[in-house]
Amino acid sequence: MWYQLYESQRSLMEPFVSLAQTASKVFNNPQSPISQMPFAQRMSAGYALLHRLGKDYEKPEFGIRTVDVEGVEVAVHERVEIDKPFCQLRRFKRYSDDTATLEKLKAQPAVLIVAPLSGHYATLLRDTVKTMLKDHKVFITDWKNARMVPLSDGQFHLDDYVNYVQEFIRHVQKEDKNCHVMSVCQPTVPVLAAVSLMASRGETTPLSMTMMGGPIDARKSPTAVNNLAMSKPHEWFENNVIFRVPNNFPGAGRRVYPGFLQHSGFVAMNPSSHAKSHYDFFEDLLKGDDASTEAHRKFYDEYNAVLDMDADYYLETIKVVFQDFSLLKGTWEVKGVDGALELVKPQDIKTTALFSVEGELDDISGSGQTEAVHAICSGVPSRLQKHYEAKGAGHYGIFAGKRWRELVYPEVKSFILAHQPKAAPTPAPVVAAAVSAPVVAPVVARVPPRVAPRVVEAPITTWVTEPKVVPVVAKKTVKAVAKTAAKKPTATKK
């Protein structure tokens, strides 16, 4: 019912939101007489703010067209490698006509970035992707909005998430012969499960796993998000946050955790901060500070774009990760694509290097929650394990912004490179000189020195293509040349 009410309200507000956008432009247009009225600039700013508060935010695009690779501008083409009902595996393919740069690109490590399915789109990791593209081949999981997935495509469970990740890892391994995995926030748990299952089956596991700000052990330094998930019974979530998609969407009837409820929860965590940000936007419009207003638009275009999550996946994540702690207790069983249950055993991982990253000021995944992965991956040698805490970084700071680029990324890059196999040296080209050597000697020996330059080309070609007729052709050729030479002086005399 709440979903239908929300959509009805949004539909009613849509004309007024569009009108506010038009009014803002009219009051701000120097060609309009209204813009010369007193308080016109203030009216324009007020309408602009009203438009942004009421508009519907669609999924943004990654928009990465080029990237700088060691001073060379490289073109980037975004394409879908695998299209699943609830997710697309995207690759950012790089192109260059500079030979030296192209060789560098081919030798760089391939990294699968597993984006969180926890409210926002994968484009939230745009800065992560763009930075990684400088030194890596990048793939990313682009999760779909559940309200856009028809019921005929089936349900989506936490087990399906784990199976998707395994399929994507195998694909990257097949494409590039190696694979490194990076998980940000929520996917640290299912990614660890996916790699554990592959290790238990004896499959080739990724060369390294980088886990950033994830709830491996949510009992350590619990945050407001953890406390809510752990304090409410499972039935409370099912009764209070799960609704059916209205009829005006392709996924009509699907049970979901709606994006608008998630967005309300995000804002409720820091309401004063968001209120101040919007007021600053209003003030910047009055001052004509275009740089600040554009930065505000970019941030909230991303922050306000949210997606619906399938109810089964969301409820199972709450239960497995935040209430039962199944991964830590060794009781988590995942249903494979064949329907068989398999126990998740992180201790079976032996050869995959493990890197955990936390933010000092993270208010989503508290201190120690991600680092806990090292204790349960007891089969990984200590020389393959590393932990890093980014000083002064919050949750978003470990994968976006200045601290990500200057503090975290150099550590991630160094770790991945340390566990990337060295490229084999390119073999020297083989020169096929053995065929021509024996061919030239016999032919030149039969030809008088004074006519050799004229005869050498034809016999060589004949020798290679038809060896048996060489002696005959060579004799005839010599006689013909001798006869021509005998006539030449007479022609010159005339």
- Cα Rg of the chain (Å, integer): 33
Least confident among 266-280, 376-390, 465-479 = 465-479
Pair (95, 229) in one structural domain: yes
pLDDT of 301 = 92
Considering 10, 33, 54, which residue would you say is the last residue of a domain? Answer: 54
Q: Is 467's pLDDT higher than 60?
A: no
Q: Is 130 inside any structural domain?
A: yes
Give the residue carrying structure tokens 């109810």. 311
Q: Average pLDDT in the 278-282 region?
A: 94
Whether residue 27 contacts residue 285, with contact meaning beta carbons closer than 8 Å, is answered with no
Q: Which residues contact 300 (CB under 8 A, 6 or more apart)?
A: 52, 57, 277
Q: Is 399 inside any structural domain?
A: yes
Whether residue 415 contacts residue 355, with contact meaning beta carbons closer than 8 Å, is answered with yes
Q: Is 288 inside any structural domain?
A: no
User: CA 127 to CA 193: how far, in whole Å?
Assistant: 26
Pair (385, 463) in one structural domain: no
Whether residue 486 contacts residue 477, with contact meaning beta carbons closer than 8 Å, is answered with no
Q: Is 274 inside any structural domain?
A: no
Q: Is 6 inside any structural domain?
A: yes
User: CA 400 to CA 404: how far, in whole Å?
Assistant: 5
Pair (44, 94) in one structural domain: no
154-208 confidence digits (pLDDT tens): 999 999 999 999 999 999 999 888 899 999 999 999 999 999 999 999 999 999 9
State the pLDDT confidence band at 37, using cuts at 50, 70 and 90: confident
Backbone angles phi, psi at 385, to 5 degrees: -115, 145
Pair (211, 110) in one structural domain: yes
What is the extent of the structural domain holding 466? Answer: 436-493
Whether residue 443 contacts residue 478, with contact meaning beta carbons closer than 8 Å, is answered with no
Pair (481, 358) in one structural domain: no
Give the residue carrying structure tokens 């024996």. 438
Pair (135, 239) in one structural domain: yes
Residue 316 corresponds to which tokens in the numbers above?
């199972």
DSSP 209: E
Q: Is 466 inside any structural domain?
A: yes
* Residue 13 burial (CB count, 10 A): 14
Please list the alpha-helical segments (H only) found in 366-406.
373-376, 402-403
Q: Angle formed by the axes of helices 2-28 and 40-54, to 10°?
A: 160
Q: Is 213 inside any structural domain?
A: yes
Pair (240, 354) in one structural domain: yes
CATH of the domain at 238: 3.40.50.1820
Backbone angles phi, psi at 184, to 5 degrees: -115, 115
Selected residue with higher pLDDT from 312 and 265:
312
Pair (387, 488) in one structural domain: no
Pair (23, 172) in one structural domain: no
Pair (489, 380) in one structural domain: no
Mean pLDDT over all residues of the chain?
86
Q: Is 81's pLDDT higher than 60?
A: yes
Considering 390, 418, 446, which residue would you say is the last residue of a domain? Answer: 418
Pair (374, 230) in one structural domain: yes
Q: Is 430 inside any structural domain?
A: no
State the pLDDT confidence band at 316, using cuts at 50, 70 and 90: very high
Pair (95, 186) in one structural domain: yes
- Write the single-letter amino acid at 445: A
- Split into its structural domains, the chain has a count of 3
Q: Is 480's pLDDT higher than 50?
A: no
User: CA 417 to CA 164: how far, in whole Å?
Assistant: 26
Rama region for 221: left / alpha / beta (φ>0; ψ in -120 to 50; rest): left
Considering 362, 383, 418, which residue would you say is the last residue of a domain? Answer: 418
* Residue 139 burial (CB count, 10 A): 26
